[in-house]
Amino acid sequence: MTTARREQLVVHARHATRGVHIAARGHELTVDEAARYGGHDTGANPVEHLLAGLASASLVVLRLVGEDAVAEHATLRVSASLNVDRVMGADDGAAFESVRLEWEVPSEEHAERLREALPLLAARRPGQALVDAAAASSEVVSVRP
């Protein structure tokens, strides 16, 4: 039996004057909510960061499974329907009613290669639990017009 390689990841967060200040390995960013939720809108909100992480992890893993050319030319749109009442404690349904990953590639050849790679992505992608926990999810591939 082989021992799997592990890496400890650490992110530091603290409230700032406007939003939350995040530091990770010397990289800094601001996370904030829209004004309607009491924020100042100085950065993407926490859920948008989750979706960004899912999108970027998808593109990175696509390269790791050997589809560099597809990853280099693909765009990925990740959208989700957040159950805000769940976050506010007024509902016990799924936190995400839906998560949708929409891939766009330049050719039918790339689309076919990507479709074949999707099960590998789902098996290896960090953040897949977010997709799996949604009440509904979909991942589609289309060719750019």
Per-residue pLDDT tens over the stretch 29-47: 999 999 998 999 999 999 9
Helix (H, G, I), strand (E, B) or coil at 70: helix
Dihedral angle, C-alpha 130, 6, 55, 103, nearest 10 °: -100
Tokens of 107: 């050719």
Asked whether the beta carbons of 49 and 57 are under 8 A apart, the reply is no
* pLDDT score, position 2: 78
Tokens of 35: 């004004």
**How far apart (Å, rounded) are the C-alpha atoms in residues 121 and 76?**
13
The closest alpha carbon to 44, from 5, 78, 67, belongs to 78
Tokens of 16: 């700032």
- The pTM of this model reads 0.92
Q: Is the pLDDT of residue 1 over 80?
A: no
Q: Is the pLDDT of residue 84 over 90?
A: yes
